[in-house]
Amino acid sequence: MDNSGYSQEQRDAIYRVIAERRDVRRGFRPDPVPADVLGRVLAAAHQAPSVGFSQPWDFIVITDRARRERIAALARRHAGEFAADLPGARARAFDQLKIESILDTPVNIVVSCDRTRGGRHTLGRHAQPQTAEFSSVLAVANLWLAARAEGLGVGWVSFFDERELAAELGLPAHLAVIAYLCVGYVTSFAAEPELATAGWARRRPVSWAVHAEEFGHRGMPGEAPVDPLADLIGAITPPDAEAMAAAAERQDRMTKPRGSLGVLEEVSVRLAGLAGSCPPPLPEPACVAVFAADHGVHAQGVSPWPQEVTAQMVANFLAGGAVVNAFAAQAGAEVTVVDVGVAADLEPVPGLLPRKVARGTADFTAGPAMTRDQAMAALVVGAEIARDLVAAGNRCLVTGDMGIANTTASAALICAFTGADPAEATGRGTGIDAATYARKIEVVCRGLARHSPDPADPVGALAAFGGFEHAALAGFILGAAALRVPVILDGVIAGAAALAAVALAPDAIAACFAGHRSAEPGHAVTLSYLGLRPLVDLGLRLGEGTGAVLALPLVQSAARALRDVATFDSAGVADKL
C-alpha cells in the first residue's frame, strides 16, 4: 500500500524538478523577484536537514548594485588566476564559458555557516566537524530546487577568496561563506549542464557511482554485480567501418594530392573509426597520466638508480619540473600522476591521484610480482582513471610512467606476450654498463623460466612480472578503448602494457596510437607485434610520457586536417586530371 501521501503525479513533479534543476548563468530576465517568492524559496532552504538540528546557515540577500560590482571584480580576479594555470585547450574552452552572473541577476544570496552554533554538544558534529558545512550545503540544495519550481534560475559562483568575500559582507570571523548564488527569472532552463554541452565535462552514469556492500563492488540494485574487467572488455568493439570509409574518401577529396599526408591520413581514418564519426572530434583537451610504481626486481641490481628516485620523480612531476611537464606545457596537455604502487608514502598534493595497490611489487625472480587480485585491482585503477579523465572532458589520453627498474619488468612482459628472446627484448634502460646489462638479461630469463607465463592468461602474466604501472596502464588503455577515446602510447612500458590490453581485448588496438619509437629494443619488437607505426622516432628513452606527448600535436593535426581542409568541390579547386 502506498502511504507516502503523494500521488504519482506529485511524485513525478519531485523527480522532474530534481532532473530539471540547472546551474544557470545565461538568459536571466531583469524583472525583480517578488518578496513573497523570495521568502518561500528562503523558507524552503531553511527547512534543510542539519547536524544535531543546529541550522548553521544564514542567508544574506544582496541587491545593491555597487556592492555587486565590487564582488564581481573579486570573482573576475580569481577567474583570471584560474585561467592562467590552464593548459591551452582548456584555457580556450574556459574563455567561452560564462562562470558568473552577479550583475545580470536582480538578487544574489550568500549562504553562510556558523560552525559554532549550538555550543559544544551539537549531536553528530563532535565526530565530524565538517557536518556543519554539509548542512549549509543542504540548505543551498533546497533553495536551488524550490527556485527551479518557481521558475527562478540559480547560478553558484565559487571564484572567491572566502575571507575577502566575508569582509565585503561584514561576516564575523566565525562564519564561513558556503555559497554565493545569483538568482533571477530566466527565459528557459537548459536541458543539460552547460559544462556538458560545451564538452568541458561529461555526466557519469549512475551505475559508476553505486557500489554494493563494499567500495569497488559496483552494481545497481536488482542487477547482477558488475565484473569490472568483463564489463570493460565487453564494451570494446571494433572501429566503425563506415566512418573509416568516409574519412578515407574525404582525404581523397581534400585540396591536396591524394596520400600526401602520409601516415597522418591513416591516423585520421583511425580516429574517425574510433569515434564512429567523420570528421572525428578534435583529440583535445589531452591529459597525460603518469602511472608510478616500484619494482621488487630492483633488488637484483638491474638499475643503477636507487628505488627512492621513483618517489622523488613523482614529486618533480607534481612540481612541474620534469621533461614531461615541459613537453606537456608546450603541447597544451595536462599532467596528472597516479601513485599505483610507489614504495613510499606520498604527500597529498593537487595533481596526485593516490591509488596505491601496494608499496611496490615483489621480486619476480623469487615469486610472482603481485597476486592476481592485485593485478586486477591495478587494471581497474587504470580503467577508472581513464573513465574519470574522460568524464572530466578530456578527449585524448596520453600514457606516462615512472618506476625504477620498470624496463626489466617490461622486457619480461614483452617476452611473455610476443615470445621474443630476452636478449632481443631487454634494453639498457636508463643506461647501464655491460655487466649490469648481462645481469638484466639473465634476470629476465630466470623470471620467464620460473613463471612459464601463458600469453592466453594476460592477468597471470601481469601478476607474474608486474609492475603495478603496467597493469594500470593496461586498464587505462582498455578504459580509453571502451570510451572510444584515443590513447597515445609512450615507449616500452606502455608498449608492454598494450600487449596485455590487446591480449585481453584485441579490438582495444583501435584506440592505440604509438607516440614514438623508443631506443629500447623491446619497444620495436612490441610495435611490430602490435602492428603500430610510431609517429616520432627521435631516439628518446626517457619514459614519463615524453615521446607520446611529442606526438600529440601530430594526432591533433591529423584530426584537424580532416575537419578543416576544404575539398576540391567546396573550394572550387580543380582535381588532378
Q: From the list 99, 183, 443, 505, which residue makes contact with ligand FMN (rule: CB under 6 A)?
A: 99
Q: Identify which range of 153-161, 208-216, 327-335, 419-427 contacts ligand FMN by CB under 6 A.
A: 153-161
Selected binder of ligand FMN within 47, 158, 237, 312 (CB under 6 A): 158
Which amino acid, residue 480? A
Q: Which of 94, 134, 156, 305 binds ligand FMN (CB under 6 A)?
A: 156
Where do we find the cell 543539460? Answer: 192
Q: Smallest distance from the beta carbon of 25 to ligand FMN, in angstroms?
A: 5
> In angstroms, what is the minimal distance from the CB of 289 to ligand FMN?
23
254 interacts with ligand FMN by CB under 6 A = no
303-322 binders of ligand FMN (CB under 6 A): none
Can you read off the three cell numbers belonging to residue 530? 602490435
For 28-126, strand residue ranges (E) read: 57-62, 107-114
User: What is the side-by-side strand order in the sheet with 512-514?
Assistant: 352-354, 334-341, 286-293, 396-402, 487-489, 512-514
Q: Which residues pair with 240 in a beta bridge?
A: none
* Residues designated as active site: 544
Q: Rounded CA gap, 508 and 135, in Å?
A: 45
- Residue 165 in the binding site for ligand FMN (CB under 6 A): no
Stretch of 21-29, 235-243, 491-499, 504-512 contacting ligand FMN, by CB under 6 A: 21-29
Closest-CA residue to 281 (of 341, 198, 404) = 198
Q: Which of 94, 134, 159, 437 binds ligand FMN (CB under 6 A)?
A: 159
Tell me the CA distances in angstroms from 478 to 129, 184, 199, 339, one per residue in order.
41, 45, 22, 19
Residue nearest to ligand FMN according to CB distances in the complex: 193
- Region for residue 400 given its phi and psi (left: phi exceeds 0; alpha: psi -120 to 50; beta: otherwise): beta
Residue 193 binds ligand FMN (CB under 6 A): yes
69: Cα within 13 Å, side-chain hemisphere = 3
DSSP letters, 110-160, are EEEEETTTT-TT-TTTTT-TTHHHHHHHHHHHHHHHHHHHTTEEEEEE--S
Could you tell me the smallest distance in angstroms from the CB atom of residue 109 to ligand FMN? 14
Residue 197 lies near ligand FMN (rule: CB under 6 A): no
25 in contact with ligand FMN (CB under 6 A): yes
Q: Which of 102, 157, 243, 462 binds ligand FMN (CB under 6 A)?
A: 157
Spatial CB neighbours of 359, under 8 Å, sequence gap ≥ 6:
294, 341, 342, 343, 344
State the number of binding residues for ligand FMN (CB under 6 A). Answer: 11
330 near ligand FMN, judged by CB under 6 A: no
510 touching ligand FMN, by CB under 6 A? no
Binding ligand FMN by CB under 6 A: which of 22, 90, 270, 541? 22
CA distance 57 to 54: 9
**Least distance to ligand FMN, CB of residue 18, Å:** 10
Integer Cα distance of 403 and 468 in angstroms: 9
Q: Show the site string, 110-149: x = touches ligand FMN by CB under 6 A, - = not.
A: ----------------------------------------
Q: 45 or 313, CB closer to ligand FMN?
A: 45
**Residues in contact with 417: Cβ distance below 8 Å, sequence separation at least 6, in sequence order:** 455, 458, 461, 496, 499, 500, 503, 529
Candidates 38-46, 103-111, 155-163, 323-331; binding stretch for ligand FMN (CB under 6 A): 155-163
Residue 156 CB, nearest distance to ligand FMN (Å)? 4
C-alpha span between 409 and 120 (Å, rounded): 56
Pairing of strands 512-514, 396-402: unpaired
Segment interacting with ligand FMN, rule: CB under 6 A, options 57-65, 154-162, 276-284, 525-533: 154-162
Torsion angle, CA of 330/333/336/340, rounded to 10 degrees? -100
Per CB under 6 A, 78 contacts ligand FMN: no
The residue (of 158 and 330) whose beta carbon lies closer to ligand FMN is 158
Q: Which stretch binds ligand FMN (CB under 6 A): 17-25, 49-57, 325-333, 389-397?
A: 17-25
We find the least distance from the C-beta atom of residue 201 to ligand FMN, in angstroms, to be 7
23 binds ligand FMN (CB under 6 A): yes
State the minimum distance, in angstroms, from the CB of residue 159 to ligand FMN: 5
The C-alpha cell at 180 is 554565493
Cβ-based nearer residue to ligand FMN, 194 or 363: 194
- H/E run at residue 513: strand 512-514
Residues that bind ligand FMN (CB under 6 A): 22-23, 25, 99-100, 156-159, 193, 195
